Amino acid sequence: MQAITKLVTHGRAELAKVIVGQNQLIDGSLTALLCGGHALIEGVPGLAKTLSVKTLARVLNVTFQRVQCTSDLMPADLLGSNILNLQSGTFTLHRGPMFTDLLLVDEVNRMPPRTQASLLESMEERQVTIDGVRHSLSPLFTVLATQNPVEFEGTYPLPEAQLDRFLLKIKIDYPSAQDELEILARHNTLTPALGDQAGITPIDPEILHQARAELRQLTIEASLFGYISEIARHTRNWPSVSLGASPRAGVSLMLVAKALAALAGRDYVIPDDIKAAVLPALRHRIILRPEAELEGLDADRVLTDVLASIEVPK
């Protein structure tokens, strides 16, 4: 647990130098990186989603690329393409932003379906195919995508197959009154150096590799496997749900629970870790029936009801 403790402690401390509050976003991003998964971040504009991801890349000392999604974004804009060198008569691969450790996909729901599909292979297999040739991506390759929950004009709903590739969905809200006062105070004395995130102390990227290895060694009792399975299976039979959680969702729930246990400083998983992991791990993986949505239900409310109906293992 030494590497995990060092990564989490250092990451939280350094991010707090730039980001005020937003603990769910910070811990959720660290969870995704610990598990080797991807995260979908949902929140209205102005909540420091982009700034958090940029700062996280600097803290972890990993390569970083950003893609600003638009309705005319093409797959080659993400993957890159082979460029003909007229002097030598040979093709050279011009690598796109996908060839990085941490990829920020800003406003992912503005990306057209064809380009969204180009993300699937990279998110699942950490490789891309360009002109029939496969190219491996970084072992640390992680997609942190943002989306605006209130603006729908010019957007394309993410297909279920792509949503299932995200390990977790992080929902963030407005800061508290105290945090908002702190934001104003910081910006009142903002200097160009602070704007460039000066003062951030990077960590050795090897720590992240070690932390991932330690996470796999965390203890989870066999009885908790049954608890995770029951949660997933209940969503498939729940009256207000038309599409429940898949087996992959159950695996994701287990991974997120292990990461939450690690963030809490434990090397074993307890039922409370699983309960805390249910919303971020499953909220984007279930589809409600139209009549349930008309009644004002949402995925978080349904999953909370599902949890309440299942006996917690002792």
Query: Does 263 fall in a domain?
Result: yes
Q: Are residues 94 and 172 in the same domain?
A: yes
**H or E element in which residue 290 lies:** helix 290-294
Q: Are residues 31 and 123 in the same domain?
A: yes
Query: Does 117 fall in a domain?
Result: yes
Give the C-alpha separation, 108 to 252, whole Å: 21
Span 40-75, pLDDT tens digits: 998 888 888 888 888 889 999 899 999 998 888 888
User: Could you give the C-alpha distances from 19 to 100, 104, 212, in angstroms and in order?
Assistant: 23, 17, 25
From 39-48, 106-115, 155-164, 264-273, the region with the lowest mean pLDDT? 155-164
Query: Does 313 fall in a domain?
Result: no
> How many domains in the chain?
2
Give the C-alpha separation, 244 to 275, whole Å: 17
pLDDT band of residue 201 (cuts 50, 70, 90) is confident
Beta carbons of 267 and 219 less than 8 angstroms apart: yes
Give the C-alpha separation, 157 to 145, whole Å: 14
Q: Are residues 176 and 228 in the same domain?
A: no
Q: Are residues 119 and 227 in the same domain?
A: no
Beta carbons of 92 and 130 less than 8 angstroms apart: no
pLDDT at 191: 55
Query: Does 20 fall in a domain?
Result: yes
pLDDT at 80: 86
Kindly tell me if the per-residue pLDDT of 232 is higher than 60: yes
What CATH number does the domain containing 252 carry?
A: 1.10.8.80
Query: Does 247 fall in a domain?
Result: yes
Query: Does 74 fall in a domain?
Result: yes
pLDDT band of residue 193 (cuts 50, 70, 90) is very low
pLDDT at 99: 92
Kindly tell me if the per-residue pLDDT of 197 is higher than 60: no
What pTM does this model have?
0.86
Q: Are residues 249 and 134 in the same domain?
A: no
> What is the mean predicted confidence (pLDDT) over 153-179?
84
pLDDT at 261: 93
Kindly tell me if the per-residue pLDDT of 107 is higher than 80: yes
Query: Does 123 fall in a domain?
Result: yes
pLDDT at 175: 85
Mean per-residue pLDDT over the chain, rounded? 87
> What is the mean predicted confidence (pLDDT) over 102-121?
86
Query: Does 195 fall in a domain?
Result: no
Nearest to 104, CA basis, from 35, 40, 28? 40
> What is the mean predicted confidence (pLDDT) over 230-234?
94
Q: Are residues 144 and 245 in the same domain?
A: no
What CATH number does the domain containing 36 carry?
A: 3.40.50.300
Q: Are residues 266 and 128 in the same domain?
A: no
Domain that holds residue 15: 2-187
pLDDT at 230: 94
pLDDT band of residue 20 (cuts 50, 70, 90) is confident
pLDDT at 153: 64
The CA angle 167-278-148, to the nearest 5 degrees, is 60
pLDDT at 195: 47
Chain centroid to Cα 140, Å, comes to: 13
pLDDT at 202: 85
Q: Are residues 236 and 182 in the same domain?
A: no
Most confident range (mean pLDDT) of 85-99, 141-155, 215-229 is: 215-229
- Sort 26 into a burial class: Cβ within 10 Å, 0-12 / 13-18 / 19+: buried
Kindly tell me if the per-residue pLDDT of 225 is higher than 50: yes
Domain boundary (141, 171, 187) is at 187
pLDDT at 228: 95
Q: Are residues 29 and 176 in the same domain?
A: yes
